[in-house]
């Protein structure tokens, strides 16, 4: 509820402040108001993020072909469900759905629209290559993502930056087209070209902001996993991932995986996860 209020308040403030700024800069034509346009921009910017959030579980299940455990058919499946239940109770959240997806590489992810309507999925490779202590730590990491509300918070941030990108792209495009205003307020070609270019550039900058936050939340989830399963178990799980060189999950699921995409050089700015060595060092320092 607090995150929802923050989300709505932030976007409302963006709309109001930009309305005043654009009016002062002269982008508001006489006899018209920028407020409806800004409100619509905010609605579009936030709407896409929220629709993705609401559909996140079904999209995730389809993208990796995960199968939800409804009735455990083996000791491993029973252990998975029992471990997630125990950790969820300790973290104070509703019991997430538990799923397994077929992949030779060790990975796991959590997603869902809120703390009490989440999904935790693990790969067959993780169950085969990690011992029970390491798998328990990975589950604790994912449960911590849910308990911290990371899926919702990422959606809030994405919605805010989407709004900023669209609004400021229009501001820049309007500035480029001011000398070519058409009778009746029509837009010139310069506006549309400027808008597409500005949106592309600002979209890249916005991605850097979102990825920075994603990296910070991984440290918090590691700390949460250490709390739920044990610090040494969490460190061992991350060390196991160092040996596995697990590839990123498909599409937008990468940000929710245990290891995510690891990029070098300037590409680090677009990485959803910090290097595993940094995460291990952070856990060791916390002890």
142 an active-site residue? yes
Catalytic residue among 97, 136, 142, 218: 142
Nearest to 111 by CA among 232, 8, 252, 231: 252
CA–CA distance, 170 with 181 (Å, rounded to integer)? 14
CA–CA distance, 254 with 247 (Å, rounded to integer)? 9
Distances (CA, A) of 239 to 98, 131, 255: 24, 12, 19
CA–CA distance, 9 with 282 (Å, rounded to integer)? 34
CA–CA distance, 287 with 281 (Å, rounded to integer)? 10
Which residues participate in catalysis according to the annotation?
142
């Amino acid at each position: 509820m607090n995150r929802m209020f923050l989300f709505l308040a932030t976007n409302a403030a963006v709309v109001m402040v930009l309305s005043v700024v654009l009016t002062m800069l002269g982008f508001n034509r006489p006899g018209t108001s920028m407020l409806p346009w800004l409100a619509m921009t905010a609605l579009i910017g936030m709407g896409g993020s929220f629709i993705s959030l609401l559909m996140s579980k079904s999209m995730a299940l389809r993208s990796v072909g995960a199968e939800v455990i409804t009735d455990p058919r083996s000791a491993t499946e029973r252990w998975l469900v029992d471990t997630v239940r125990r950790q969820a109770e300790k973290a104070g959240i509703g019991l997430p759905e538990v799923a397994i997806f077929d992949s030779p590489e060790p990975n796991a992810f959590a997603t869902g629209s809120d703390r009490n309507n989440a999904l935790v999925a693990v790969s067959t490779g993780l169950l085969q290559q990690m011992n029970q202590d390491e798998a328990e730590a990975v589950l604790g990491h994912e449960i911590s993502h849910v308990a911290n509300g990371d899926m919702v918070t990422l959606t809030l941030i994405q919605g805010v930056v989407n709004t900023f990108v669209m609004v400021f792209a229009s501001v820049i495009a309007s500035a480029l087209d001011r000398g070519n205003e058409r009778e009746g307020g029509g837009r010139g070609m310069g506006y549309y070209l400027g808008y597409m270019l500005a949106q592309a550039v600002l979209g890249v900058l916005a991605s850097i902001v979102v990825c920075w936050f994603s990296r910070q939340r991984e440290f918090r989830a590691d700390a949460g996993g250490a709390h739920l399963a044990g610090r040494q178990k969490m460190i061992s799980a991350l060390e196991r991932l160092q040996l596995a060189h697990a590839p990123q999950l498909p599409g937008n699921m990468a940000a929710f995986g245990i290891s995510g995409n690891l990029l070098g050089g300037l590409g680090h700015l677009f990485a959803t996860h910090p290097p595993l060595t940094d995460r291990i060092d952070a856990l060791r320092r916390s002890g």
